[in-house]
Structure 1
Amino acid sequence: MKIIVLILSLILGSQSCSKRESISITASNQKLYFNGKIYTVNESQPWAEAMIIEKNKIVFVGSNSEARNALDNAVEEIDLKGKLVLPGFHDVHMHPMEVGATSTTFTLDENEEDINNYLPIIKQASQEQIDNDWLIGFGHSINTLLTSEESPLLLLDEIVPNRPVIIMEHTSHSMWVNSKALELADFTDSSENPTGGILMKEAGKLNGILIDNAGDIVFQIAQKSLENSNNEYDGMVNYVLPELAKNGITSVSDARTYWKRNQHKVWQQLAEDKMLTARFNLGLWAYPEADDDAQITSLKSLFSNNKNSLLKINQIKLYSDGITHNTTAALHTDYHVDYFNKTTNNGLNYFSENRIAKYIRELEGVGFDFHIHAIGNRGVHEAINAIENASNLENRHRLTHVEMVDSEDITRFKQLNITADAQVAGEFTKPEFWQENVELVGTTLANNLVPIKSLTDANVRLTLSSDWNVSTLNPFVGIQNAVTRNPQNISLEEAIKGYTINGAYVMRQENEVGSLEVGKLADFIVVDQNIFTIPTNQINQTKVIRTVFNGNEIYKK
């Protein structure tokens, strides 16, 4: 094999390298990507024309002419034809294994306003899926159930009386169930609300609507009936991983790994079988109803942070509160409507401030970073307090969703090194839809949802993510919304950082990926249009035409 060693002695600040160094290049293992518009997300060298990849690493970033001088004829050349190149996207909050599982047997329309129009679909699914122990559906709107003049429980019992039914609302924060499902969960009319959840009742009787963790408890029972199937593994291989590659996503944080259902073992099997085509960090789910000491012991035993593996189990996912449209996001003030006739009407806590602090104290030292769901201003405030009181500030903790944040808490993100993780790909986060929340939380809170500009103006580290499948996983939808959602909009450069280098930071891999620099791993994408020059309202039409992961092309359009 012919080895050509080229010593590139470049002065400080040159286009191709930020410091003087020698690069040893083996031509037969090289690929030259040239004639591109390469946005590196490297502040010292933001733009380039060419990159040289050796095996799985970037060994050169600079101009076409400099790249030519470093090569001979044996190299593989890829002409980018002027296309835009970006680092591979990070999505640090999605639910890939849940998306890939094929347990859902029917889907309802979240825009349907009449509960009776759901019933024929459910009945047909029950007749077609006779071999399943549970009938599992997805997609309805809780408002359709809440406004029903008939009991949602009795309607389900009438059409499916003999086996359990559970239907997940489109946000996953409530479930619609029949009596068989309630029976298997030991929920009765006299049952107390579980931690982080509400058993909805009418005149003291269960009505079939389970809010937040009450629904999740039953859903986990339903999912356990499918444990011996390969649906999660197959769904990842056949659907999720190809979709990630198609959308240019090369790093992911799984935002809820149900370890009691052995989902982490499915992930480990995927890694062992070398099926993974992205870098994954798992966020182990902290079960709200669990005994804290026993759960913490179990979580400690699952920690895994092998630097050479594409799979790391190094994050904890827990919820501070619920969501706004269920009136379970934790507020400092009461909601303007009362769905549950509770003594307090300012939302709920899955984990209290003190419990969050306990988990941080016990698990941060093991190496876990925390991924904390916090939507209401009280939920955000309490989560920040917990980090301030329990963390050593060497953490990479983040709060996700951050829909309502008090101005005095915004500066605390920066002070405590907390990352704000926001999802703006969903239509509901656009300013034109904010008024829909006025009847629930009032004008002041409703008119400043997901304040990403306020956060970046305060120099808070911001990541942008999808919460797939609540919203589309397409990063270009999120980027367009981030730069156009005036008055809470940010620059294009900040939006790209939110999907690249900032995501790499919270996954503890900013020295390996997240920007295109000499010495980093070759994760990058080529897209069909230059999002820096087109109108901002066309960014969401951008298509990935090539995805390179770890030096290998995993998608080409």
Structure 2
Amino acid sequence: MKIKSLLSILAIFSFLSCQNQQESADLIIKGGNIYTVNENQPTVEAVAVKNNKILFAGSEAEVEQYLSENTKQVDLAGKTMTPGFIEGHGHFMGLGYNELNVDLLQTKSYDEVIQKVKEAVDAAKPGEWITGRGWHQSKWNKMPNNTIDGFPLHHAISEVSPDNPVYLRHASGHAGMANEKAMQIAGVLPLSKESMANLDVEGGEIFRDEQGNPTGVFNERAMTLITQHIPESTPEKDQKAFELAVKASHRNGITSFHDAGIGRENIQLYRDMKADGKLDVRMYAMLTGWDKELLNEWYEKGPEVDSTHLLTIRSIKLNCDGALGSRGAWLLEEYTDQPGHFGHETLPMSFVYTTSNQALKTGFQVCSHAIGDRANQEILDRYEKAMNENADLTDNHRFRIEHAQHLHPDDIPRFAELGVIPAMQAVHMSSDRPWAIDRLGEKRIKEGAYMWQALLQSGVPIVNGTDVPVEPIDPLASFYASVSRKTLEGTPEGGYEPEQKMTREQALRSYTLDAAYGAFEEDIKGSIEVGKLADFTIFDKDIMTVPEDEILETNVAMTIFDGRVVFEK
């Protein structure tokens, strides 16, 4: 009897010991401002992590019960922690390749672009293609002497690169500049009168001079005339770009990434990187709508939701119009600064409708790129038609419109009515608003451009982001734009259309919990709550309270992904 009692006591002690061991944290974070984005507990003093999940969120006194000799501790030392930031719309490999190729995002003139091309040519082998991205003529502080439709001519680039073909993608990704050598390879220079008509591309445009010769600028789908001749990347270069993109994400506090349009090669690359333990960003990938065969294959097998929450494929990206900067955005009324021009429908609306139908039947989300007010309206019409015909399948579709930059006032409430999520990149307002008024005029700008607060008040969440590499991946630029409605130089005083500003709480949600919702992942991430994934972003200033002009002076001090410190400044 005594032996049995002793054994029982030992068993109890052993059980309690195991329980305590299970309850001990791998990581405890405290000593600063912690914003949870949890309405029931907006701030906490400390967070405990076990494995890759949040074990505790509460007071410093209570977190001590999870401390053991093996627990790593992070002292915030007054810094600010939030849930891990989510890039709600970007191009992951574009981010990586921008670090490998000629990066033109910060160029302020055509002369700077030419200089960067010259430097690349000097370092290249004869005949090697020079590629880059990021120039934007509307952001230059001075324009070249000769322009057509506001765009530069190729001659200066051709002079510094006579033997190397050059192709420089516009920051928007919806236009590109080719030099003479690249156009010769593509067979579009010189052009005969007979060949000019044959080279017209539906949904695209070749910019021409008064003699009918190409200026070097290829808009929308006409870009393929050049890009089809650029040699394919190598697996080694792809892997390098991937690794650079992961590091860039970590430096900027990004722990999850909505990759807006990928094909077979990227899917396989991401799977390989996951298998090698190198997928250190949670990827929510959208299948490119340009590959119909790929879509049909995925309709057959259905969405792929990763149980480890690293690589999920359950959405489809459709590119339905162009960008405002290249006058490719599809408008209901003509461009103010180019009468008679309405932009481009780059994908038939019939395909949006059939894709929406198929997606509802097979469990996929549709994410359609639309910048102009007509593109937005036409897509909402197709979504609505498909939903009406599949009413029993629309409970949780979460269809999205990517960008949703310029809306007809009548279409603003339709997002909430149809349950369509606007995925908007606030930094585009900072970059584009000073010249967007030239494209749209004051009335359209004030009634329908960058309508964040109107959409939020209608009852839909907004997914924020940067559209990297269209803009740098820095989330603080978009956060600042969200709450200030100013350019990144801090103008104008009071912001553009200030009634559409987000509050700081709304802006933080748009980068965390609402972005998670846009990917069906609000139950596993986006807020600091027990049981959710341990992804955190730590800033050296309190972005929720510092003066507005200090937001852009804030830096990411640390990034924690999957319970591990992956970046520390």
Q: Same fold (TM over 0.5)?
A: yes
Q: 2:90·2:465 contact (CA, 8 Å) conserved in 1? A: yes
Within the alignment, does 1:95 sit opposite 2:96 as a pair? no
**Residues 31-75 of structure 1: CA deviation (Å, up to 9, x unaligned):** 222343321111111121122211111121111222234555654
Judge which range, 457-466 or 74-83, deviates more. Answer: 74-83
**C-alpha displacement at 1:368, in angstroms?**
2.6
The 5 A counterparts of 1:300-339 are 300=299, 304-338=304-338
Equivalents in 1 of 2:17, 2:136: separation in Å?
A: 63
> Match of 1:193, SS?
coil
- Report the equivalent of 2:452: 452
Q: 2:102·2:116 contact (CA, 8 Å) conserved in 1? A: no
TM-score (norm. length: structure 2): 0.83
The 1:160–1:502 alpha-carbon spacing in structure 2 relative to 1, beyond 3 Å, is same
**Residues 399-428 of structure 1: CA deviation (Å, up to 9, x unaligned):** 1222211222111111111111111224x5
Within the alignment, does 1:531 sit opposite 2:539 as a pair? no
> Match of 1:540, SS?
helix
The 1:180–1:460 alpha-carbon spacing in structure 2 relative to 1, beyond 3 Å, is same
Equivalents in 2 of 1:374, 1:357: separation in Å?
A: 15
TM-score (norm. length: structure 1): 0.85
- Report the equivalent of 1:476: 476
Q: Which runs of 5+ in 1 are unaligned?
A: 8-22
> Match of 1:463, SS?
coil
Judge which range, 316-325 or 439-448, deviates more. Answer: 439-448
Within the alignment, does 1:200 sit opposite 2:207 as a pair? yes
Q: Which runs of 5+ in 2 are unaligned?
A: 1-12, 189-194, 388-392, 486-497
**C-alpha displacement at 1:195, in angstroms?**
3.7
Q: 2:27·2:563 contact (CA, 8 Å) conserved in 1? A: no
Judge which range, 23-32 or 527-536, deviates more. Answer: 23-32
The 5 A counterparts of 1:532-547 are 532-547=544-559
Percent of residue pairs identical: 25
The 1:205–1:190 alpha-carbon spacing in structure 2 relative to 1, beyond 3 Å, is farther
- Report the equivalent of 1:489: 501
Within the alignment, does 1:233 sit opposite 2:245 as a pair? no
> Match of 2:499, SS?
coil
How large is the RMSD of aligned CA atoms in angstroms? 3.1
Judge which range, 303-312 or 395-404, deviates more. Answer: 303-312
Equivalents in 1 of 2:224, 2:129: separation in Å?
A: 15
The 1:252–1:216 alpha-carbon spacing in structure 2 relative to 1, beyond 3 Å, is farther
The 5 A counterparts of 1:388-403 are 388-391=384-387, 392-393=393-394, 394-403=396-405
The 1:118–1:465 alpha-carbon spacing in structure 2 relative to 1, beyond 3 Å, is closer
> Match of 1:314, SS?
strand
Equivalents in 1 of 2:15, 2:54: separation in Å?
A: 17
- Report the equivalent of 1:272: 275
The correspondence for 1:254, drawn from 252, 259, 267, is: 259
Q: 1:319·1:351 contact (CA, 8 Å) conserved in 2? A: yes
> Match of 1:487, SS?
helix
Equivalents in 2 of 1:539, 1:106: separation in Å?
A: 25
Q: 1:334·1:345 contact (CA, 8 Å) conserved in 2? A: yes
- Report the equivalent of 2:132: 137
**C-alpha displacement at 1:453, in angstroms?**
1.2
**C-alpha displacement at 1:79, in angstroms?**
3.2
Letter in 2 for 1:215: M
The 1:437–1:247 alpha-carbon spacing in structure 2 relative to 1, beyond 3 Å, is closer
Equivalents in 2 of 1:466, 1:493: separation in Å?
A: 18
Equivalents in 2 of 1:364, 1:157: separation in Å?
A: 49
- Report the equivalent of 1:12: none
The correspondence for 1:515, drawn from 521, 527, 534, is: 527
- Report the equivalent of 2:488: none
Letter in 1 for 2:223: G
The correspondence for 1:211, drawn from 219, 222, 230, is: 219
Within the alignment, does 1:440 sit opposite 2:439 as a pair? yes
Of Structure 1 and Structure 2, which has the larger fraction of its residues in helix? 2
Equivalents in 1 of 2:67, 2:102: separation in Å?
A: 55
- Report the equivalent of 1:16: none
Letter in 2 for 1:98: G
